[in-house]
């Protein structure tokens, strides 16, 4: 017999267990049983009532009533046309492309199981093309007997081979209403997984349910033992739905338990209280503001101020629309910490953004940010910048200011995480664009505080996060949201420019830029790649480049666009170039020139996606806009309309007018609501990618839970998790629940959740 914690190599043998470990990181019985079916092959019952949809995968059993070999039109070989009588209203037409190889098995009179994809080739006719098949032997009375030899092709043949025992293959299994189909690899096929799962289920001992009875009763959830069995071997559709309901809640609860433990751990740490000072820098800064803060900014500043005044570290997410004024909120928080005699570190994902923050904060603080310099205010602090490409002398001076405590605010990139960077008394960490950094990177910076203390943490993002995503990826953080735009921000109008259908509209785009420049304003032209050697990101030259050239025109590169525009349509104005390969000092020089108005039009890549603030910029032209994601487009256009003049964003594309890419661009153009666009973005991408599966190369941590659609489940699980952890922090009184937490979701990969 077997338990959920038993090792697979002991139960299945090393030969069967090793491929499961290599392909899916499965080591225990529970790991295997929580690898749920991707879909189910059915026996085609709907065929008697309604026709299947295009692309549906169905499995049918019937008798072959007719076969015909026909020569192919465009290549050698013959097709085998088959008519299969399943007892439904209309026989099913089936086509095999390797007819000569199949015809000796699939012939008139045999009974067979066939599994394939529905293809409608006329408005009233459909068929199965080249399906998997299995020939079913019969007794004299016409009933099906066990297979002693397997005859067939494709997945069904493999499935039968894997299910073959001493008495042959139990064909009755293949006549089940629902046959599970699993996420698989080339080395571990779906039928291999099913064979292992059936073997494990046959040996599984009765188990105690890890979920407390009160929770099961309240949620009307079935026992986990029943759910794990029925998700793999359901007798009907209701079995699948009830099993998924239970296992979906397991995933939600597992996630929330991990986050609740993190949250409690953070609350148990000590931090130096930083109460506001009526005579401090923050108070003076408030009196100098040349504008009035929005109600939202004032509320969030108050929330953060209360957090900073406590003796345990703040853990707060600040999210807000592009241009909603997050930076000034973060600056106010940092000044409150500086007033308490501690230092702040602001971590930015790129050198361009770090330098922009440095200039912006120095500009907002004025003489309050120039401590140690002539003309500094009495309460001033010092703001320094640390990046990887700084000169040795400049970096040495900045590091010295950090370690001696002279600098109250230290701004930098990943360079701040390096061991060489030390702080005198780090009291707060601000992480901008939190999705660019992992949990480990944030923790590495927080570890630079004095022994026995944890710095306060504020993470910011201008990429709106739907509520369910925030609850599951950042559930250990309190959330503040800025929805109002500060006074003085102007509206942005976005238009899609289909270049192939309306080439003259592109010429008009350059004319609009010239009109804005003549009116004293500035513009961006954004490209998806830097130079000609990238070939759409596929590498330098070579076969891939040749293939790309055959497929169609490549995207426009920033270097080429700069040369074309500066000598052509925009030759009469000052055009600059900015991209990630430029030396750091050159990037900074270009941004300074654009900030100062010495460059009229900046041709750039996505290095300007976040944080760049030039209020005089009013137009943005995004070339090959279909190559960018929804959130990225929203971030990019947030660089314009930051001043008194309205913004215009032109999305130039060669996308098919009837395709999904064009629909995505039209959706972006139709709204400036970042939260609405965030949901759209996530719906158009696989959630596994959102959770990091694409980056990690493995399957998603979540199998059944939808981060967009399961708000009620996630909310209930969060409440239950916090109650459980509050009463039993280490889950010592709930060992089975602790085991389930690690099995239902791969907690080692939760860093990917934080990057969603």
CA–CA separation, 297 vs 641, rounded Å? 20
Higher pLDDT, 387 or 689: 387
pLDDT (mean) for 365-382: 89
Distance (Å, rounded) from C-alpha 421 to C-alpha 388? 11
pLDDT at position 75, please?
Answer: 81
On the question of a common fold for 40-154 and 492-671, the answer reads no
Q: Report the pLDDT averaged over residues 78-92.
A: 85
Q: Which CATH class is domain 281-308+325-461?
A: alpha beta
Angle between helices 190-203 and 154-162 (to 10 degrees): 30
Q: How far is CA 173 from CA 37, 215, 751, in A?
A: 16, 35, 41
- Between strands 522-526 and 601-604, the pairing is parallel
pLDDT band at 367 (very low <50, low <70, confident <90, very high): very high
* Model confidence band, residue 472 (pLDDT cutoffs 50, 70, 90): low
Q: What is the pLDDT of residue 696?
A: 32
DSSP state, residue 448: T
User: How far apart, in whole angstroms, are the C-alpha atoms of residue 270 and residue 560?
Assistant: 55
Q: What is the DSSP letter of 553?
A: P
Q: Percent of the chain having pLDDT more than 90?
A: 38
Examine the pLDDT at 372 and tell me if it is beyond 70. yes
CA–CA separation, 690 and 679 (whole Å): 12
More confident residue, 484 or 210: 210
Given a cut of 80, whether residue 59 has pLDDT beyond it is no
Q: Which residues lie closer than 8 Å to 667 by C-beta, 6 or more apart?
A: 630, 677, 680
Q: What ranges in 519-618 are assigned the alpha helix state H?
A: 542-551, 558-567, 584-595
191 phi, psi to nearest 5 deg? -70, -30
Looking at per-residue pLDDT, the higher value among 506 and 164 belongs to 506
pLDDT of residue 129: 87
User: Considering only CA atoms, which of 505, 485, 117 is closest in space to residue 291?
Assistant: 485
Assess whether pLDDT exceeds 70 at residue 236: yes
Residue 546 pLDDT grade (very low, low, confident, very high; cuts 50, 70, 90): very low
Question: Which residues are bridge partners to 96 per DSSP?
Answer: 80
Q: What is the mean predicted confidence (pLDDT) over 240-251?
A: 94
- What are the tens digits of pLDDT across the range 253-280? 988 898 888 888 877 888 899 999 999 9
In sequence order, the β-bridge partners of residue 120 are 126
Bridge partners of 168, per DSSP, are 165
Take residue 114 and report the two structure tokens written for it.
């066939």
When the pLDDT of each residue in the chain is averaged and rounded to a whole number, the result is: 82
Q: What percent of the chain has pLDDT over 70?
A: 83
Q: How confident is the model at residue 335 (pLDDT cuts 50, 70, 90)?
A: very high
Domain ranges (residues) in the chain: 40-154, 281-308+325-461, 492-671
Distance CA 232, CA 37 (A): 7
Q: How confident is the model at residue 635 (pLDDT cuts 50, 70, 90)?
A: confident
- Least confident piece of the model among 4-8, 145-149, 425-429, 594-598: 145-149
Query: What is 613-676 written as a DSSP string?
Result: --TTEEEEEETTGGGS-HHHHHHHHTTSS-SSSPEEEEEEE---TTSHHHHHHHHHHH---HHH
Q: Of the given ranges (6-10, 222-226, 611-615, 695-699), which has the lowest mean pLDDT?
A: 695-699
pLDDT of residue 753: 38
Please give the pLDDT value at position 469: 67
Alpha-helical runs (H) found in 37-131:
99-102
List the 575-578 sheet strands across, edge first.
492-498, 647-653, 617-622, 522-526, 601-604, 575-578
What's residue 51's pLDDT? 67
CATH value of 40-154 in 2.120.10.70, 3.90.550.10, 2.40.50.140, 3.30.365.10: 2.40.50.140
In this prediction, residue 694 carries a pLDDT of 32
Q: What angle do CA 76, 80, 83 make, to 5 degrees?
A: 160
Q: pLDDT: is 584 or 634 the higher one?
A: 634
Whether the predicted pLDDT of 455 surpasses 60 = yes
Distance, in Å, from the CA atom of 479 to the CA atom of 316, rounded to the nearest integer, reads 6
Over 60: is that where the pLDDT of 731 sits?
A: yes
Per-residue confidence (pLDDT) for residue 386, from 0 to 100: 92
What's the pLDDT score for residue 43? 55
The domain covering 492-671 belongs, at the CATH homologous superfamily level, to P-loop containing nucleotide triphosphate hydrolases (3.40.50.300)
Distance CA 348, CA 13 (A): 50
pLDDT digits (tens, 9 = 90+) for 686-718: 444 333 333 333 334 577 887 777 888 988 998
């Amino acid at each position: 017999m077997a338990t959920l914690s038993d090792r697979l190599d002991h139960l299945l043998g090393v030969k069967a267990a090793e491929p499961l470990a290599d392909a899916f990181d499965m080591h225990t019985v529970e790991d295997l049983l929580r690898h749920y079916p991707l879909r189910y092959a059915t026996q085609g019952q709907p065929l008697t009532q309604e026709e299947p949809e295009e692309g549906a995968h169905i499995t049918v059993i019937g008798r072959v009533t007719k076969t015909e070999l026909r020569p192919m039109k465009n290549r050698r070989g013959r097709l085998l046309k088959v008519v299969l009588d399943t007892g439904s209203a209309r026989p099913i037409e089936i086509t095999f492309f390797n007819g000569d190889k199949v015809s000796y098995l699939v012939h008139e009179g045999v009974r067979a199981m066939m599994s394939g994809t529905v293809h409608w080739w006329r408005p009233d006719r459909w068929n199965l093309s080249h399906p998997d098949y299995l020939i079913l032997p019969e007794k004299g009375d016409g009933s099906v007997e066990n297979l002693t030899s397997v005859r067939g092709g494709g997945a069904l043949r493999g499935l039968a081979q894997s299910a073959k025992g001493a008495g042959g293959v139990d064909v009755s299994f293949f006549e089940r209403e629902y046959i599970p189909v699993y996420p698989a690899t080339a080395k571990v096929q779906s039928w291999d997984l099913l064979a292992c799962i059936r073997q494990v289920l046959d040996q599984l001992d009765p188990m105690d349910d890890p979920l407390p009875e009160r929770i099961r009763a309240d949620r009307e959830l079935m026992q986990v033992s029943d759910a794990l069995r029925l998700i793999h071997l359901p007798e009907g559709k209701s079995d699948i739905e009830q099993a998924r309901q239970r296992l979906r809640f397991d995933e939600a609860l597992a996630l929330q338990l991990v986050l609740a433990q993190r949250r409690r751990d953070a609350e148990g740490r000590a931090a130096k209280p930083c109460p506001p000072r009526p005579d401090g820098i923050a108070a003076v800064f408030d009196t100098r503001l040349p504008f009035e803060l929005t109600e939202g900014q004032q509320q969030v500043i108050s929330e953060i101020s209360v957090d900073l005044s406590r003796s345990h570290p703040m853990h707060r997410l600040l999210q807000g629309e592009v241009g909603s004024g997050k930076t000034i909120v973060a600056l106010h928080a940092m000044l409150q910490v500086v007033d308490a005699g501690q230092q702040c570190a602001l971590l930015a994902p790129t050198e361009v953004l770090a330098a922009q923050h440095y200039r912006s904060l120095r500009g907002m603080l004025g003489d309050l940010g120039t401590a140690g310099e002539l003309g500094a205010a009495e309460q001033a602090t010092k703001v320094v910048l640390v990046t990887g490409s700084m000169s040795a002398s400049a970096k040495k001076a900045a590091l010295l200011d950090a370690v001696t405590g002279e600098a109250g605010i230290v701004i930098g990139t990943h360079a701040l995480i390096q061991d060489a960077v030390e702080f005198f008394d780090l009291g707060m960490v601000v992480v901008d664009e939190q999705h660019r950094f992992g949990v480990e990177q944030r923790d590495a910076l927080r570890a630079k505080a004095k022994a026995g203390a944890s710095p306060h943490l504020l993470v910011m993002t201008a990429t709106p996060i739907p509520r369910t995503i925030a609850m599951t990826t950042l559930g250990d953080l309190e959330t503040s949201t800025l929805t109002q735009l500060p006074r003085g921000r102007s509206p942005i109008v976005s238009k899609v420019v289909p270049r192939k259908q309306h080439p003259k509209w592109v010429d008009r785009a350059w004319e609009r830029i010239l009109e804005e420049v003549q009116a004293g304003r500035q513009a961006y032209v954004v490209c998806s790649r830097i130079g000609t050697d990238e070939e759409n990101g596929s590498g330098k030259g070579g076969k891939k480049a040749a293939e790309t050239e055959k497929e169609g025109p490549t995207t426009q590169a920033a270097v080429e666009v700069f040369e074309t525009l500066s000598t052509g349509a925009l030759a009469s104005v000052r055009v600059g170039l900015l991209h990630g390969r430029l030396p750091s000092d050159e990037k900074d020089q270009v941004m300074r020139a654009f900030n100062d108005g010495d460059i009229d039009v900046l041709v750039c890549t996505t290095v300007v996606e976040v944080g760049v603030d030039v209020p005089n910029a009013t137009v943005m032209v995004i070339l090959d806009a279909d190559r960018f994601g929804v959130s990225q487009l929203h971030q990019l256009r947030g660089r314009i309309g930051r001043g008194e003049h309205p913004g215009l964003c032109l999305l130039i594309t060669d996308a098919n007018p009837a395709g999904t890419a064009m629909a995505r661009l039209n959706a972006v153009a139709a709204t400036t609501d970042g939260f609405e666009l965030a949901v759209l973005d996530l719906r158009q991408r696989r959630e596994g990618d959102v959770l990091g599966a694409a980056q990690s190369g493995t399957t998603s941590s979540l199998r059944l839970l939808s981060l967009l659609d399961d708000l009620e489940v996630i909310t209930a699980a969060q409440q239950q998790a916090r109650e459980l952890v509050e009463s039993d922090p280490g889950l010592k009184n709930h060992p089975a629940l602790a085991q389930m937490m690690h099995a239902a979701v791969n907690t080692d990969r939760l860093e990917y959740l934080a990057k969603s």
